[in-house]
Structure 1
Amino acid sequence: MNSKKLAVILPGTGYNKDKPLLYYAQTIAIKKEYEIVNVDYDKFFVGVNYRNPDEMNAVADKAYEYAAERLDSINYREYDKVVFIGKSFGTIVGARYTTEHNMAPTQIWYTPVMDAYEKAVGHIVAFMGDKDPIADVDAARKKAKEKGIPLHVYPDANHSLATGDALVDIDTLRDVMTITNEIL
């Protein structure tokens, strides 16, 4: 396909491209004739103790290096529009990569990790739940406001934007994908 639009899919750890947020974002992008690049670094996190910061940082660096090598093979100048779509850890990968490579693409962040805000560049829209156990919602709101990032916060939603109520979750997913569709 000779598309002039590129969507780079950057999953979270344990949240791959086949899970709802990334699956439907990718489906929308394909319908809009984006070329899709999926970066899968989940293998680096198998057996990792997520509560051990040293272990997590070492593994995160390896995963980032792997992702950067894959992303370095892309000639971004061939595209009229580049969008990085990240989930959780993927938001850090996207933010770090675009900063280190002097890029300012559109970025869509699903349940971003706080470290992503430190390297935020380009047009970014973020989504998170107010019951996300790994996020500080107030700090995220503050940082998003400082950086000019629209942040959509969903009540009672966790790190997967799920509440446990299927109908509420479907409405949330519809809202997130409607905004994603507008961005793409």
Structure 2
Amino acid sequence: MKKLQKTAKTKRSEIAYTHIQTGGNQVCFMFSGLGYHYDKPLFYYLIMLMIESKIDVVQVHYSYQRDFLQLDSKRVTEEMLNDVTPVVSEVLQHNSYQNTLFVGKSLGTIPIVNGFMQNDRFAEATMILLTPLLKLDEIANSIAASKHNGLLVIGDKDQHFDEKCLNQLEKTNFHSLIIKNGNHSLDDVNNDSLASIQSMSIIIKNLQKLTIAL
């Protein structure tokens, strides 16, 4: 296994990314949340799962201010795609992969839903949406209209939880995993450590089933 630190040129400057190479023929692009980075528990075990499954991992290291999400959604999407697209293009240009996965957490689901899911090049890609911002109409509508296979994970105590939206996803190829008492970090809302660990195990087991099916 190799862990490479690289940069890609963007319209503004350049952006750093980490490319973990397992020798496999699949790649998973990861987009972190605003405050939920790749060293957090869910990403830590998700990365471990990908390595175990011989799936290469690409972590994009963008950074935005706390008020970034207060911008117009179109501008948020545009800025994020300007940052992450050069990384995706560079990695795919220099490597031959048979399957592509995208994983986003909260903010990181925006370029997936508003960008890559609408790009014919990634029509066969698997999408993993962790705590997406379902109360934003364009996010909910885009997921509901998607034909992609994927997994959506959200806690029922998350401020972005939307039962109506999740019911609409029953008509899609997305499997919805609802974490009981889970907050936006997918931890137990009552600070029950054991319950949080059990939820993490449930999430990883569902992700494992998804990777096995690829």
- TM-score computed with the length of structure 2 as normaliser: 0.75
Q: Aligned to 1:118, which of 124, 128, 142?
A: 142
Q: Write the distance in 1 (CA, Å) between the matches of 2:173 and 2:110.
A: 17
- Measure how far apart 1:157 and its partner are: 0.9
Q: CA deviation at 1:142?
A: 2.5
Between the two proteins, what is the percent identity of the paired residues?
22
CA contact (8 A) 1:129 1:158 kept: yes
Q: Secondary structure at the match of 2:206?
A: helix
Shift of 1:121: 4.1
Partner of 1:74: 91
**Do structure 1's residue 148 and structure 2's residue 148 form an aligned pair?**
no
Q: Secondary structure at the match of 2:181?
A: coil
Cα offset for 1:106? 1.1
Q: 1:170 to 1:117 in 2, by over 3 A?
A: farther
SS in 1 for 2:201: helix
Structure 1 residue runs of 5 or longer lacking an equivalent are none
Q: Which residue of 1 aligns with 2:125?
A: 105
Moved over 4 A (4+): none
Do the aligned residues in 1 keep the contact of 2:68 with 2:76 (CA within 8 Å)?
no
Task: Report whether the alignment pairs 1:63 with 2:105.
Answer: no
Q: Structure 1, residues 59-117: CA drift from partner, whole Å, max 9, x if none?
A: 44212211112112132782122211211122222232242243121112211222165
Does the CA contact (< 8 Å) of 2:49 and 2:208 recur in 1? yes
1:168 aligns with 2:186: no
* Deviation (angstroms), 1:138: 1.2
Alignment of 1:1-184 (within 5 A): 1=21, 2-41=23-62, 43=63, 45-48=64-67, 50=69, 52-54=70-72, 57-75=74-92, 78-95=96-113, 96-103=115-122, 104-114=124-134, 115=139, 118=142, 120-133=146-159, 135-163=160-188, 164-184=191-211
- The structure with the largest strand share of the pair is 2
Distance in 2 between residues matched to 1:143 and 1:102, nearest whole Å: 25
Structure 1 residues 4 and 174: alpha-carbon distance in aligned structure 2, compared to 1, 3 A threshold: same
RMSD: 2.1
Q: Could you list the runs of 5+ residues in structure 2 that have no partner in the other structure?
A: 1-20
Secondary structure at the aligned position of 2:127 is classed as strand
1:130-167 residue CA offsets vs partner (Å, 9 max, x unmatched): 1101x142133123223232111112111111111111
Alpha-carbon distance between aligned partners in 2 of 1:38 and 1:146, rounded to the nearest angstrom: 31
